[in-house]
């Protein structure tokens, strides 16, 4: 028996409704914030990620799925969405649009060769958003507000927004020098990963999990202390705008994030929920003012985030999130071989009219067919046998009320539609859009 590859998982038909509902919420909130969907390829030229995300980041140096294609080109399965969106923004010259601030979102699979555990996979899904063309801290605040709105719409509580600034290029340079000088005498007292980071990616030392409690790191200089005046103003304004919008956040002076492209604001959303396990960062993002230029585009600022959808799903377990219920409008029972052609015409007519319709393909007996109708949660069951064919009728039963009738077979579609339009017995006869009982009619 073939088994799925390590770090991957199936979403079975019984579970897919939850994912569809999650995506529905994502799309609704994105519309509210006026972010448009973009779909970019799952693989790109390897160099895009090397230059975009950063050669020395864990993601690129240890975790990419790389392959050489038959044309001897180096390809990489996307480990994240930002680099591909930036590539597309540049290649399609979206910066020339008459909408100068381009706001986009995406939902799709990403691939990282990581050690799998709960909430950490090799193929996983992200919902991400990117906004290009403005360096205003209003946009930093908007992107965080957008992420928080997603969680509100999903009714996920117990989340904390952690925010920090690593500043512009000059601030980053000054900070890096200060950090290297500070750590030089003690670097051999830090973990082996940090010793490698010291030469390759010193900022990442700050969020080392192994040395988190080490006083050497706790007393290390922090990026906020090395911000230029402009960077400081940017950060203060971002925080003020968040406060003005009523968004709670914690300034986390050690937050640096694992991708090289960030400048100014960086943030993460962490959830304190038992259903999540150790991987409790459900969203990460920040500003990247040099990325578009470094990938050969115009000098254009950008800011964005990405949620891990599997982690959101685990968070949703804590609030009993369910997908829209599965059901059929009509289950058709065709009782004999000679009735199949006429019966199929009836089924076809109902489907063309939009009724969710199914039937038996295994020539089961009556008992088996009734069982199927119940398992598929059919509201109406139509019975079409020899007698009905002779009389041009069809027998129909409403599984909700138990009402049974014999009607003309040509009326089947209209009959089911008319019955579905009647307020359900559970409904109090309202006409509000949000009424679950009426919604699907």
Nearer to ligand HAM, 103 or 311 (CB): 311
* Shortest reach from residue 241's CB to ligand HAM, in Å: 18
Taking CB under 6 A as the rule, does residue 285 contact ligand HAM? yes
- 346 to 365: interface string for ligand HAM, x by CB under 6 A: --------------------
Q: Which of 282, 313, 382, 416 lies at the binding interface for ligand HAM (CB under 6 A)?
A: 282
Comparison of 256 and 383: residue with beta carbon closer to ligand HAM: 256
Site for ligand HAM (CB under 6 A): which residue of 52, 54, 81, 137? 81
Number of Cβ atoms within 10 Å of the Cβ of 354: 10
Residue (of 172, 174, 199) closest to 184 by Cα position: 199
CB of 31 to ligand HAM, least distance (A): 19
The binder of ligand HAM chosen from 121, 198, 241, 370 (CB under 6 A): 121
Q: Which of 304, 331, 372, 373 binds ligand HAM (CB under 6 A)?
A: 304
Q: Does 130 bind ligand HAM (CB under 6 A)?
A: yes
Q: Which of 336, 406, 416, 353 is nearest to 380 (CA)?
A: 416
Cβ–Cβ under 8 Å, residues 48 and 292: no
Query: Which pair of structure tokens corresponds to residue 373?
Result: 């109708």
Q: Site for ligand HAM (CB under 6 A): which residue of 283, 295, 315, 328? A: 283
Residue indicated by tokens 């706790």: 218
List all residues 6 or more positions away from 31 whose beta carbon is below 8 Å from its beta carbon: none
58 binds ligand HAM (CB under 6 A): no
57, two tokens = 């980041």
Sheet of strand 378-384: strand arrangement? 357-359, 328-334, 378-384, 393-398, 404-408
Q: Which is nearer to ligand HAM, 167 or 284 (CB)?
A: 284
Other beta carbons within 10 angstroms of residue 231's beta carbon come to 23
Residue 252 touching ligand HAM (CB under 6 A): no
Does residue 124 bind ligand HAM (CB under 6 A)?
yes
C-alpha pair distances (Å), 170 with each of 98, 177, 184, 290:
32, 11, 21, 12
Task: For the segment 87-116, give every residue that binds ligand HAM (CB under 6 A).
Answer: 112, 114
Does 52 participate in binding ligand HAM (rule CB under 6 A)?
no
In the complex with ligand HAM, which residue's Cβ is closer, 282 or 396?
Answer: 282
Q: Where are the beta strands (DSSP E) in 371-423?
A: 378-384, 393-398, 404-408
> Binding residue for ligand HAM (CB under 6 A) from 306, 334, 383, 416?
306
82 sits near ligand HAM (criterion: CB under 6 A): yes
Interface with ligand HAM includes 84 (CB under 6 A)? no
Q: Does 127 bind ligand HAM (CB under 6 A)?
A: no
User: Are the C-beta atoms of 38 and 105 separated by less than 8 Å?
Assistant: yes
Query: Among residues 258 and 423, whose Cβ is nearest to ligand HAM?
Result: 258
Q: Does residue 202 interact with ligand HAM by CB under 6 A?
A: no
80 sits near ligand HAM (criterion: CB under 6 A) = yes
Between the CA atoms of 132, 133, 139 and 145, what dihedral angle is there, to the nearest 10 degrees?
Answer: -20
Distance of CA 210 to the CA centre of its chain: 30
State which of residues 284, 297, 301, 343 lies at the interface with ligand HAM (CB under 6 A).
284
| Cα-based torsion angle of the residue sequence 165, 170, 174, 176 in order, rounded to the nearest 10 degrees | 70
When the beta carbons of 226 and 307 are compared against ligand HAM, the nearer one is: 307
Site for ligand HAM in 208-247 (CB under 6 A): none
Q: How far apart are CA 227 and CA 41, in angstroms?
A: 37
* Nearest one of 142, 214, 216 to 184, comparing CA atoms: 216
Say whether 62 sits in a helix, a strand or coil.
helix
Please report, as ranges, the residues that interact with ligand HAM according to CB under 6 A. Answer: 80-82, 112, 114, 119-121, 124, 126, 128, 130, 258-259, 281-286, 304-308, 310-311
């Amino acid at each position: 028996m073939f088994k799925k590859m390590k770090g991957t998982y199936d979403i079975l038909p019984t579970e897919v409704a939850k994912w569809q509902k999650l995506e529905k919420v994502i799309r609704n909130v994105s519309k509210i914030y006026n972010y448009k969907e973009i779909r970019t390829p799952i693989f790109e030229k390897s160099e895009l990620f090397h230059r975009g995300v950063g050669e020395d980041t864990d993601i690129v140096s240890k975790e990419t799925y790389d392959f050489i294609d038959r044309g001897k080109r180096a390809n990489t399965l996307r480990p994240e969405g930002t680099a591909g969106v930036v590539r597309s923004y540049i290649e399609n010259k979206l910066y020339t649009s008459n909408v100068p601030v381009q706001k986009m979102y995406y939902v799709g699979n990403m691939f990282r060769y990581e050690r799998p555990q709960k909430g950490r996979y090799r193929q996983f899904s992200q919902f991400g958003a990117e906004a290009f063309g403005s360096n205003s801290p209003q946009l930093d605040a908007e992107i965080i507000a957008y992420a928080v709105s997603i969680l509100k719409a999903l009714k996920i509580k117990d989340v904390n927004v952690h925010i920090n600034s690593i500043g512009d290029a000059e601030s980053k340079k000054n900070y890096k020098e200060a950090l290297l000088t500070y750590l030089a005498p003690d670097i051999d007292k830090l973990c082996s990963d940090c010793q490698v980071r010291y030469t390759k990616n010193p900022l990442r030392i700050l969020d080392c999990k192994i040395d988190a409690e080490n006083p050497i790191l706790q007393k290390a200089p922090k990026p906020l202390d090395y911000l230029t005046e402009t960077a400081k103003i940017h950060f203060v304004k971002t925080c003020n705008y968040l406060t003005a919008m009523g968004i709670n956040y914690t300034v986390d002076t050690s937050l640096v994030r694992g991708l090289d492209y960030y400048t100014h604001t960086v943030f993460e959303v962490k959830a304190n929920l038992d259903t999540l396990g150790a991987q409790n960062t459900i969203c990460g993002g920040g500003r990247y003012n040099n990325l578009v230029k470094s990938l050969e585009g115009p000098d254009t600022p950008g800011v964005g985030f990405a949620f891990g959808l599997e982690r959101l799903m685990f968070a949703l377990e804590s609030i009993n999130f369910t997908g829209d219920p599965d059901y059929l409008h009509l289950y058709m029972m065709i009782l004999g071989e000679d009735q199949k052609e006429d019966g199929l015409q009836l089924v076809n007519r109902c489907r063309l009219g939009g009724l969710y319709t199914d039937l038996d393909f295994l020539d089961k007996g009556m008992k088996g067919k009734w069982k199927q109708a119940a398992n598929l949660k059919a509201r109406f069951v139509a019975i079409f046998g020899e007698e009905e064919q002779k009389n041009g009728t069809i027998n129909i039963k409403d599984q909700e009320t138990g009402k049974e009738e014999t009607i003309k077979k040509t009326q089947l579609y209209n009959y089911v539609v008319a019955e579905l339009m009647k307020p359900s017995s559970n409904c109090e006869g309202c006409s509000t859009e949000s009424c679950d009982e009426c919604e699907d009619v």
